[in-house]
Amino acid sequence: MTGRHPDRGRHPEPAAVAARPRSLAAGRSSRVWSCNEWDPLEEVIVGNPLHARFPTPDPSTRLAEFPERSFEDLPRGPFPQRIIEETEEDLEAFIAVLTGLGVTVRRPETWPHEARFSTIHWGAQGY
């Protein structure tokens, strides 16, 4: 059903789209909302590479990202500062293009990539 509205199995009428509330739950408004893939881009969130880290090594990381390396040779910890600075420079250039086209660009706060995440079945530091 690609390209079709999931609620009706057909494209929604424009008036129905405009009338639809932009909410995640009752009383809570969402800052991100998308109705389709063909309207002009109005607003976008562009990420932030500051304090980025390699994911905690595990077998899936090795298979997906570094199949030629042994588990012991997988990168760990923060990305090199040079990579973070170059990425931020590229993102700033991308943002300049978007804003030049009239797109509102939002940037998230720096995420605590060094934070520890876990469940009862696994744990990871950062990502």
Task: Compute the distance between CA of residue 56 and CA of residue 76 in angstroms, rounded to an integer.
Answer: 7
Write down the pLDDT at residue 94: 98
Q: Give the pLDDT confidence of 61-90 residue by residue, as tens digits.
A: 788 888 898 888 888 888 999 999 999 999
Mean pLDDT of 102-125: 84
Q: Where are the alpha helices (DSSP H) in 20-76?
A: 59-65
Q: Which of 35-44, 77-86, 91-100, 101-110 has the highest mean pLDDT?
A: 91-100
Q: Give the pLDDT confidence of 17-39 residue by residue, as tens digits.
A: 444 444 444 556 666 677 788 88
Confidence grade of residue 14 (pLDDT, cut at 50, 70, 90): very low
Are 94 and 46 contacting, i.e. CB atoms less than 8 angstroms apart?
A: yes
Give the length of the chain.
127
Residue for token digits 């509205």? 5
Confidence grade of residue 117 (pLDDT, cut at 50, 70, 90): confident
State both tokens at 80: 């090199």
Write down the pLDDT at residue 90: 97
Choice among 34-38, 45-49, 100-104 with the minimum mean pLDDT: 34-38
Domain positions in the chain: 1-39, 41-125
Q: What is the DSSP letter of 105?
A: E
Backbone φ/ψ region at 9: left (φ over 0), alpha (ψ -120 to 50), beta: left
State both tokens at 66: 């570094």
